Amino acid sequence: MEMNRRGFLHSAALAGTGSMIGLKKYAERSTRISKNGKLNVAILGSGFRGQSHIDLCLRRNDCDVVAIADIDEEMISRSQSLFQKHNSKMPKIYSDSPHAYLELLQKEDIDLTIIASPWRWHSDMAIASMEAGVYTGMEVCGGFSLDECWQLVNCSERTGSHLYFMENVCFRRDILAVLNMVRKSMFGELIHLEGGYQHDLRGVKFNDGKTAYNSGVEFGEMGFSEAKWRTKHSVYRNGDLYPTHGVGPIAQMIDINRGNRFMYLTSISSKSRGLHNYILDHPEGGNSHKNASIKFKLGDKVTTCIKTSNDESVILHHDTNLPRPYSLGFRVQGEKGLWMDVNQSLHIEGKSPSHRWEEASSYLKKYDHPLWVKYEQNAIGAGHGGMDYFLMHSLVEHCKNNEEPPFDVYDAATWLAITPLSEESISLGSHPVSFPDFTRGRWTERKNDFALNDRY
Amino acid sequence: MEMNRRGFLHSAALAGTGSMIGLKKYAERSTRISKNGKLNVAILGSGFRGQSHIDLCLRRNDCDVVAIADIDEEMISRSQSLFQKHNSKMPKIYSDSPHAYLELLQKEDIDLTIIASPWRWHSDMAIASMEAGVYTGMEVCGGFSLDECWQLVNCSERTGSHLYFMENVCFRRDILAVLNMVRKSMFGELIHLEGGYQHDLRGVKFNDGKTAYNSGVEFGEMGFSEAKWRTKHSVYRNGDLYPTHGVGPIAQMIDINRGNRFMYLTSISSKSRGLHNYILDHPEGGNSHKNASIKFKLGDKVTTCIKTSNDESVILHHDTNLPRPYSLGFRVQGEKGLWMDVNQSLHIEGKSPSHRWEEASSYLKKYDHPLWVKYEQNAIGAGHGGMDYFLMHSLVEHCKNNEEPPFDVYDAATWLAITPLSEESISLGSHPVSFPDFTRGRWTERKNDFALNDRY
C-alpha cells in the first residue's frame, strides 16, 4: 500500500519547476545501481578530504569514480595518482571554473555525488546534485544562514533526492558501543549530553602555502589546502563553526528529528587570543608579519547549550585555536550513570563501585557495535581510526537501495543551523534563539533507524 | 596616610543607625584578640559541618569555642562530646529557639562567629553577627535573592564588620597548585574555566530520620541532618543551588571583584528524574511511599555559563541527583594550555608532547603551593582531604588581625547571586541575566591577595 516515496516525490517534482537538470535521466532508472552493477560516483571537491573518499571508493568493488570537479591543479594531480595506485580507470576532470560541477552533473551519468569542497560550496553543490536527481553525499560543516538550511530541505522535498550528511564520528567505535549501551538502557533515560570539537587547528589554519601543516602563518590566497579557505571563517565569524562531530553522535542517542528535537540554544564565547599568538610566535611569523595585524573574531572557546523537546540538556564545545590535545569531549549521562571520553571512564549504578569511576574499555569491548564486529577488518587503514570506512559503506549501500539516509536533509539542516544560531546568540549577549522545525512537524512520526543492526 | 578602614567604617556606622548591638563592646578592643590571647569563637549551627569546625578550633591553641547556638538536641550533644574529647571547657549553649543566636551575640564576648546552619539562616545570622561587630565566618551555600546579597554587602559596609565566606575548595591542594601555576603564567592569559558541584547527594537528601546517609527516603521533618532542610530546595527550586565550590576557586584564578567581574549568566536545566527514581527504587521507598508522589523541580543537570568583563567564559556544572562519581569538573584553560581534574591531566605548550595530555601529578607536586608545603602536617586528619584545616587557619588568622578576608562580603554576594540568577534564567528559557556590581565600581581598584605566600 505504501507508495514508493522517491517515485512519488519525483513525479511531484516533475510537475513543478522545469529548471531541474537530469530528472529525465533519473526517471529512466529503476534503481540506483547503474548498468555495470556499480555506482557511478562523482567527487565534487578533491582536496585531501575528497582524496580520502576517492581512495575508499576505489577500494570497493561497487563504486566507479567516474568524474571529479575541482579547480586546484595540484589536488587534481594528487587525486589522479590514486587512480593509478588502484589501477582504476581515470575519471573525467571538470576544472574550467568553480562552477564546472554543474557541467559535470549535466553531462555525466552519476549515481552518487560526494561533496568535499570548501564549506562555501557545500549547499550550492548539494542543491545542484539533488536537482540533477542524484543521491547526494555532503561532507559536514557549519551553516551560514537558516535560509541555506531551508534551501536544502526544500530542494530535497521538491526533487525527492536524498541528502546524506556525512558525519563520520557517528561511526566511531566507542560512540557506537555507547549508542549500543544507550539502546540497551544501561544509562537509563538520558538526561544530559556533551560533545564538540576540541582540536588545536592552528597548524591547519596556517601554513606556508605549499605544505599543509604547521609550516607557516599564511592563509587565504597565500595558504594551502584548508588554510586557503577555512581560516577566514575565524577572521569574520564568532560561533560554533563546526558543530557536527559533537552533535551528530548525540543526535543519534536522543533521537533528534525522530521523536525529539532541538528547541533553542544559547552560546557564549571567550576572548580570542590563540590565532593571533600563533602568528606572533611562529618562526615564520612575528610582530612585523602582515597577518599579525589581523583581528580574529572567533572566540577561542565557544560553548553552546541546547534544550531539547524531551528536556535533555546538550552542551557543545568548540575549541580550535589553542594548544590542547584532541578531544571531542563526549559525556552521555542518564538516570543510571554516565560515560565520558576524556577520562575514558564510566559509572553505571549497580555495576560500578558506588561513587567511583570504572575504566570504560571492558564495557566498550563487551558492547562493541555489530557493525564493528562485522566490518572491523575492512576498516583497517581507513581514515580517522577506521570510521571513514563505515561512513562510506553506509553511504554507498544506502545509495544503492535509494534509501533514506540515517543523517538526512533534516538532520543536515538542524546540525548546520547550530552555526548561524550560535553566531546570533553570541552577538546578542547569549540570548536564546530558537531552532526552526525543519521537519515541519514530522519529527513526531519519524523513527530512528541508524545502525540498528550490522547491515550498514 | 591610609586611615584604618575598620575604624573609619566603624565611626561611620556609629553615626548611622543605632540598632546595632555590640558596637560599644567592639570599640573597646584594639585588636581582635581577646584578653587571654585567644579568640572567643561562637558556633551558630552545630550540625555535622559545625562539629567539624568545632573540632578544628579545639585542635588549635588560639581558639576557645565559648558558645553554641542550635536547637537540635542530638547535634548539641554530639558537639559537647567533642569538648570532652579535647578536654576543653564546655561552651555555653543557646537553644531556646531558632533565634537564640541573637541572645548569644548580645550576651557573649565573641571575636569570631562561624555560621554553619541550614542555608535559610546563613544571611540572617551573618547580618546579626556583623551588626554585633563580630568578625563573621559564613559557610557556603547559594543565595535566595539578590536583595539578600545586597543586605550582606550593605550590612558589612555599614558596620565595618568583615564577612569571611568559607569556601574550602579554594584551599584544595591541586587547586592551589594550579593557582600557583596560573600566577606563574604557565597557562598564559586565561581564556575559559569550568568547575562546579557534581556529587551524588541522593543518599544525603534522603535518609531514615535517624542516620545520615543512604538509610531511607525521608526528608523534611521526617529527615535527619541535611535531609531535614536541604532536600526541600530540590522540591521547589530549579537552578544552580550550590555554586561556590566551583566558582570560588575559579574566581581566585581570574581575579573576580579585583580587576575583573561577572557580567551575566545563562543557565539551562535538564529534566528531573534522579530524586524521584531514588524514592521508587530504595528498599525503604517504592511506588506507594508518600514521597513517591512528590515532583522535584530541580533539574538533574544544571549548566550555567558566565561571561566576565575580561572576556573569559566560565561554565558551572551542578549535578547532584544522579548516580555518579564525585567530581567538581575543573578546567583551567589559557593561551598556553589547560588542566582538567576529571582526567587528572594537563597540556602545556612547549612542555607537553604536541597534542597530547600529560599526567598532572608531577606538575602539581612541583608547583605545590607554599601553604601546603608549610602546613601539610597540620592538615592531616582535617576534613575534605585536609583543606578544611587551611580554611580554618585562614579564617582564624585573618580574624586575629582583623584583616579583610580573601573571600569577602563582595565575593559572598557575587557567588551567592549565581543561584537566584540561574533560577531566573532557567525560568525565562535561558535568557541572559546580569550580575549586580556589588562592589559599586571598586572592583577596578581592588587587588587579589589570596594565598600570595605561605602566611595563611
- Measured between CA atoms, the residue of chain A closest to residue B429 is A432
In the three-class reduction of DSSP (H, G, I as helix; E, B as strand; rest coil), residue A319 is classed as strand
User: Cβ contact (<8 Å) for B268 and A266?
Assistant: yes
All residues of chain B having their beta carbon less than 8 Å from the beta carbon of residue A315 are: 303, 315
Interface test with A, best of B322, B338, B359 (most A CBs within 10 A): B322
A327 beta partners: A198
In the three-class reduction of DSSP (H, G, I as helix; E, B as strand; rest coil), residue B284 is classed as coil
User: Cβ contact (<8 Å) for A325 and B432?
Assistant: no
Q: What are the pLDDT digits (tens) for A240-297?
A: 999 999 999 999 999 999 999 999 999 999 999 999 999 999 999 999 999 999 999 9
All residues of chain A having their beta carbon less than 8 Å from the beta carbon of residue B277 are: 188, 335
Shortest CB distance from B338 goes to which of A324, A333, A347? A324
User: Cβ contact (<8 Å) for A323 and B307?
Assistant: no
Shortest CB distance from B273 goes to which of A191, A299, A322? A191
All residues of chain A having their beta carbon less than 8 Å from the beta carbon of residue B274 are: 191, 335
Q: How far is B216 from chain A (nearest CA, A)?
A: 17
Interface test with B, best of A189, A266, A276, A341 (most B CBs within 10 A): A266
| Cβ-based burial of B380 (10 A; exposed 0-12, middle 13-18, buried ≥19) | exposed
| C-alpha span between A456 and B364 (Å, rounded) | 47
User: Cβ contact (<8 Å) for A338 and B355?
Assistant: no
Q: What are the pLDDT digits (tens) for A330-349?
A: 999 999 999 999 999 999 99
Alpha-carbon separation of residue B93 from B49, B84, B103, B359 (angstroms): 17, 15, 11, 50
CB–CB of A277/A289 below 8 Å?
Answer: no
User: Cβ contact (<8 Å) for A273 and B429?
Assistant: no
Neighbours of A190 (CB within 10 A): 25
The per-residue pLDDT for A101 is 98
The secondary structure element, H or E, covering residue A280 is: helix A274-281
Q: How far is A64 from chain B (nearest CA, A)?
A: 37
Q: Which band of pLDDT confidence, cut at 50, 70 and 90, is reported for residue A19?
A: very low
Q: Which of B144, B161, B178 is the last residue of a domain?
A: B161
Residues B177 and B155 in one domain: no
Residues B275 and B138 in one domain: no
- Residue B164 has, within 13 A of its CA and on its CB side, a CA count of 28
The alpha carbon of residue B150 and the mean position of all alpha carbons in its chain are separated, in whole angstroms, by 17
The per-residue pLDDT for A2 is 35
Shortest CB distance from A300 goes to which of B191, B344, B355? B191
CB–CB of A106/A132 below 8 Å?
Answer: yes
Residues A149 and A265 in one domain: no
Q: Decide if pLDDT at A133 tops 90.
A: yes
Q: Which band of pLDDT confidence, cut at 50, 70 and 90, is reported for residue A34?
A: low
The per-residue pLDDT for A37 is 77
| C-alpha span between A63 and A55 (Å, rounded) | 11
All residues of chain A having their beta carbon less than 8 Å from the beta carbon of residue B426 are: none
Query: Which of A3-17, A226-240, B13-27 is most confident?
Result: A226-240
User: Cβ contact (<8 Å) for B343 and A338?
Assistant: no
Residues B135 and B22 in one domain: yes
- Measured between CA atoms, the residue of chain A closest to residue B277 is A335
Residues B353 and B216 in one domain: yes
Residues A152 and A176 in one domain: no
The per-residue pLDDT for B37 is 77
The per-residue pLDDT for B383 is 87
| Cβ-based burial of A28 (10 A; exposed 0-12, middle 13-18, buried ≥19) | exposed
All residues of chain B having their beta carbon less than 8 Å from the beta carbon of residue A349 are: 323
The secondary structure element, H or E, covering residue B129 is: helix B119-131
Assess if residue A397 is contained within a domain. no
Assess if residue B378 is contained within a domain. no
Q: Decide if pLDDT at A99 tops 70.
A: yes
Rg (CA), chain B: 22
Shortest CB distance from B274 goes to which of A274, A335, A431? A335
Assess if residue A19 is contained within a domain. yes
Q: Which domain holds residue B331?
A: 170-372+409-444
Exposed e or buried b for every residue in B340-369, given b needs 16+ CB within 10 A? Answer: bbbbebbbbbeebeeeebbebeebbeebbb
- Joined together, the cell numbers standing for residue B228 give 531535614
Average pLDDT of chain A, as a whole number: 93
Interface test with A, best of B199, B200, B270 (most A CBs within 10 A): B270
Sheet of A92-94: strand order equals A92-94, A63-69, A39-44, A112-115, A135-139, A163-166
Terminal C-alpha separation, chain B: 26
A334 beta partners: A190, A337
The per-residue pLDDT for A371 is 97
Q: How far is A192 from chain B (nearest CA, A)?
A: 6
Query: What are the two backbone dihedrals, phi and then psi, of residue B448, each rounded to the nearest 5 degrees?
Result: -80, 120
Assess if residue B453 is contained within a domain. no
| C-alpha span between A323 and A202 (Å, rounded) | 8
All residues of chain B having their beta carbon less than 8 Å from the beta carbon of residue A268 are: 266, 305, 307, 313
Shortest CB distance from A333 goes to which of B188, B301, B357? B301
Assess if residue A391 is contained within a domain. no
Assess if residue A387 is contained within a domain. no
pTM over 0.90: yes
| C-alpha span between B294 and B275 (Å, rounded) | 9
Neighbours of A424 (CB within 10 A): 16
All residues of chain B having their beta carbon less than 8 Å from the beta carbon of residue A310 are: 271
Residues A180 and A117 in one domain: no
Residues B245 and B135 in one domain: no
CATH code of A353's domain: 3.30.360.10
Q: Which of B120, B142, B161 is the last residue of a domain?
A: B161
Residues B283 and B175 in one domain: yes
Interface test with A, best of B430, B433, B434 (most A CBs within 10 A): B430
CB–CB of B312/A271 below 8 Å?
Answer: yes
Residues A297 and A356 in one domain: yes
User: Cβ contact (<8 Å) for A325 and B357?
Assistant: yes
Q: How far is B79 from chain A (nearest CA, A)?
A: 29
The per-residue pLDDT for B33 is 64
All residues of chain A having their beta carbon less than 8 Å from the beta carbon of residue B323 are: 336-337, 347-349
User: Cβ contact (<8 Å) for A326 and B355?
Assistant: yes
Structural domain count of chain B: 2
Once rounded to an integer, what is the mean pLDDT over residues A381-388? 91
Q: Which of A161, A180, A200 is the last residue of a domain?
A: A161
- Measured between CA atoms, the residue of chain A closest to residue B434 is A429
- Measured between CA atoms, the residue of chain B closest to residue A201 is B355
- Measured between CA atoms, the residue of chain B closest to residue A340 is B342
Q: Residue A274: CB partners within 8 Å, gap ≥ 6?
A: A202, A300, A321, A322, A323, B191, B335
Q: How far is B273 from chain A (nearest CA, A)?
A: 7
All residues of chain A having their beta carbon less than 8 Å from the beta carbon of residue B325 are: 347, 355-357
Nearest to A329 by CA among A219, A274, A429, A249: A249
| C-alpha span between B151 and B127 (Å, rounded) | 8
All residues of chain B having their beta carbon less than 8 Å from the beta carbon of residue A322 are: 191, 333-335, 337-338
Interface test with A, best of B309, B318, B330, B333 (most A CBs within 10 A): B333
Q: How many helices (H) and strands (E) does chain A have?
A: 17, 15
| C-alpha span between B169 and B450 (Å, rounded) | 13
The per-residue pLDDT for B22 is 44
Output the CA torsion B47→B50→B54→B56 (10° steps).
130
Which residue carries 533521537 as its cell?
A255
CATH code of B11's domain: 3.40.50.720
Neighbours of A432 (CB within 10 A): 22
DSSP string, B73-100: HHHHHHHHHHHHHTTPPPPEEE-SSTTH
- Joined together, the cell numbers standing for residue A295 give 583581528
All residues of chain B having their beta carbon less than 8 Å from the beta carbon of residue A342 are: 340, 342-343
Residues B331 and B191 in one domain: yes
Assess if residue A379 is contained within a domain. no
The per-residue pLDDT for B77 is 98
User: Cβ contact (<8 Å) for B192 and A432?
Assistant: no
Assess if residue A254 is contained within a domain. yes
Q: Name residues of chain B where pLDDT drops below 50.
A: 1-30
User: Cβ contact (<8 Å) for A277 and B335?
Assistant: yes
Residues B152 and B265 in one domain: no
Amino acid at A375: Y
**E strand intervals along A270-410:** 302-308, 313-319, 331-334, 337-340, 345-348, 358-359
- Measured between CA atoms, the residue of chain B closest to residue A428 is B432
